[in-house]
Homo-oligomer: A and B are copies of this chain.
Amino acid sequence: MMTTNEILRAAAQEKQILAAADTDTRNRALLAMADCLLEDAARILAANAEDVEAARGRISDVMIDRLLLNEARIAAMADGIREVAALPDPVGRILSRSVRPNGLIVEKTAVPFGVIAIIYESRPNVTSDAAALAVKSGNACVLRGGRDAFHSANAITTALRRGLARVGLPENLVSMVQDTDRASARELMTAVGLVDLLIPRGGAGLIRTCVENATVPCIETGTGICHVYIDAAAEVPMALDIIENAKTSRPSVCNAAEVCLVHSAVAAEFLPKMKKRLVEDRAAAGKTPVELRLDPRAAAIIPGTAAGADDFDTEFLDYVLAVRVVDSVEEATAHIAAHSTGHSEAIVTADDRVAAAFTARVNSAAVYVNASTRFTDGGEFGLGCEMGISTQKLHARGPMGLEELTTYQYIIRGCGQTR
C-alpha cells in the first residue's frame, strides 16, 4: 500500500506524460476506463455491499441511498465517462496570439494544471466523474474520498487504473488516498510542489477547512446562500413559479434558494400567495411544506416562525426559507452583499432598469433576471460537465467545466531576439 506522500510523488512524477499525451490518447484512455468499470461491476458491487453494510445504522437512509450502487448506476457512471470523452479537448487551445514588432510570436496556450487533488465525501460516482474530467483535461488526479464509500471508491479507482494501463498510460495518473482520516486531508492541503490544484467537494465544514488550511492553490466550491428578490415590478405568477422552483425542486443542493427578499410595494399581495403555494398547497398535495422564517415586516403580513439571528446566514439545504421585506432594489442588493456566499442570486422584475441595477450591484458568480437560481450548473450552462461550482473570484467562478481545469502558458518563438 502506497502512503499519501508516495501517491503524490508518483502523480507529480508522471503528470507530464498525460500533459504531453495527444487528444486521441486521452480519449482512448477514457473509453477504456469506462469499459473496465463495466467489466469490474461485480467486484465494485461487492465492495459497495461492504460499505453499505458498515454504514447501516450509522448514517441516514437518504445517505445510504446516495452510497448504494447497482448495475444501472455503474452503467450510468460508464456513460458519464464516455460523454466526457466526446467533449472538445480543452488542452492546447490557443487563447491569444500576437506577432510583436520585433518578430516574436507570443502564443497564450491552454495547458493542464498538473496534479489535481480532490477531497470529497460519500457519493461513489464522484470518483469516476472527477477522474474522467481530470484525465480529459490532461491532469493527473489524487482522490481522497469519504470513509463511508471507501471500499466502493477503491474498487472504482482500481477499474479506472486498469483502463489507463490498457492504453499504455501509467496507472498512477489516477490514485486514491488510502486513509480517510483528517491527517490525509491535511497532507493534500499542504503538499506544496506536488499538488497544483486542490478542489474540495462537499459540505461547508470541509470547504472551510480546506480554504483555511490549504497552502496549495485551492478552489472554494459549493456553499450557496442564494437569494431571490421579488421586485415591486415583478409579475406575481412568475415570481411564485421561480421561488417555488428555487426553493423546493431540490433543496439539498447548493443552487437552491435559502432567502426570499420581497419589495414592500408587492409584499401584501405576494407573501400570502407564496405562503399558499409553498406551505398549504404542498401540504395538501402530501409534499413537505416549506417552513417560513419571517422578519418582522413579513410577519406582519403572514403567519410563520420569527427569523432568528442566524437565519439570513444559513445554508439550510432543507425545506426552510428566510423571508425579509425591503423597500428598494438597493436595500435588496445591500442585504445580498452582506449575507450572500457569492453563488447565485435572482431578481424577478418586469422593469429593465431595476434588473440592470440588480445585475450591476450583485457580484455573485451567477446573477439571474427572471429565472430560477437552480440553473447554476455546468450542464445547464452548456459546459457539458462540471467539477463543482466555484464561489471564489480567482481563476474560476460558477460551474467549472473542462476549460476551468486548465491553466495557460505563454509560448514565445523567436529567431535570436534579445532585449
Contacts and interface: CB of A to CB of B under 8 A. Distances in A.
Interface in A366-415: 366-372, 374-376, 380-382, 392-395, 397-398, 407-415
A412 B98 CA distance: 32
Interface stretch (A65-73, A140-148, A305-313, A356-364): A356-364
Nearest to A218: B394
A418 B104 contact: no
B397 A410 contact: yes
Contacts of A98: 381-382
Contacts of A219: 394
A87 interface: no
A395 B397 contact: no
A407 to B, nearest CB: 4
A365 B408 CA distance: 8
Contacts of A419: 245, 249, 372, 374-375, 380
A374 B414 CA distance: 13
A24 interface: no
A238 interface: yes
Nearest to A374: B419
Contact of A371 (B104, B217, B361): B104
A416 interface: yes
A241 B363 contact: no
A414 B20 contact: no
Interface in A199-247: 211-212, 215, 217, 219, 235, 238, 241-242, 244-246
Contact of A392 (B217, B244, B249): B217
A31 interface: no
Contacts of A364: 409
Contact of A418 (B359, B367, B372, B417): B372
A215 B369 CA distance: 33
A154 to B, nearest CB: 29
B370 A416 contact: yes
B242 A416 contact: yes
Contacts of A360: 19-20
Nearest to A375: B419
B217 A370 contact: no
A370 B413 contact: yes
A76 B357 CA distance: 38
A85 interface: no
A371 B409 contact: no
A80 to B, nearest CB: 20
B409 A397 contact: yes
A35 interface: no
A113 B19 contact: no
A33 interface: no
B242 A411 contact: no
A415 B363 contact: no
Interface in A58-84: none
Nearest to A15: B363
A393 B98 CA distance: 21
A100 interface: yes
A90 interface: no
A413 B368 CA distance: 6
Contact of A114 (B363, B375, B382): B363
A363 B393 contact: no
In the A-B complex, list the 10 residue pairs whose CB atoms are closest, starting with the nearest: A371-B414, A245-B418, A395-B395, A238-B416, A393-B407, A374-B419, A217-B394, A371-B417, A366-B410, A394-B395
9 contacts: A217-B392, A238-B415, A241-B416, A241-B418, A370-B417, A372-B419, A374-B419, A394-B407, A398-B409
Given A371-B414, A372-B419, A397-B408, 5 more contacts: A106-B381, A235-B416, A366-B409, A370-B413, A380-B419
